[in-house]
Amino acid sequence: MRSKGVLHHDTQILVPFFDVDSMQVVWHGHYVKYLEIARCALLDRLGHNYNAMHDCGYAWPVIDLQLRYVRGAVFGQTLNVRASLVEWENRLKINYLITDLASGERLTRACTVQVAVDLASREMQLASPKVFTDAVTRALE
């Protein structure tokens, strides 16, 4: 069973025309963009977004991405993208659930894993920086 996470954020996305193919179905690669939009909103909610990460001297590259497509989204459909924080102490793991906003029908499940990399040394960190884990702790209180 997939973890629901300790904190989540829902983001609504109206599928634009330029994201669909000739069959008016969202091209599979655009789902990664929808995940990024939801992840940024979740990080904003934590109070430690990508700008704050950079200002603290860390980059957080995605090192793993998994997507499971159930049903294609279509032009004009409003999606709900739920980003759920699952792990944060040694890596940043977020689970996603993309559903149709109106019906709640599941369309896609996904997961991303990111790790902290020291910008000065370019070395991957074996634990998340304290400034990030402290931000998570504050958001959970």
pLDDT per residue as tens digits for the range 42-58: 999 999 999 999 999 99
| Average pLDDT score over residue span 13-28 | 96
Buried b (16+ CB within 10 A) or exposed e, 25-46: bbeeebbeebbeebbeebbeeb
Confidence class of residue 120 from pLDDT cuts 50, 70 and 90? very high
Is the pLDDT score of 10 beyond 60? yes
Q: Reduce the DSSP state of residue 96 to 3 states and report it.
A: strand
As given in the structure block, the two tokens for residue 56 are 């603290």
Domains with residue ranges and CATH for the chain: 7-140 (3.10.129.10)
Is the pLDDT score of 1 beyond 90? no
What backbone phi and psi angles, to 5 degrees, belong to 95?
Answer: -95, 150
The predicted pLDDT at position 4 comes to 77
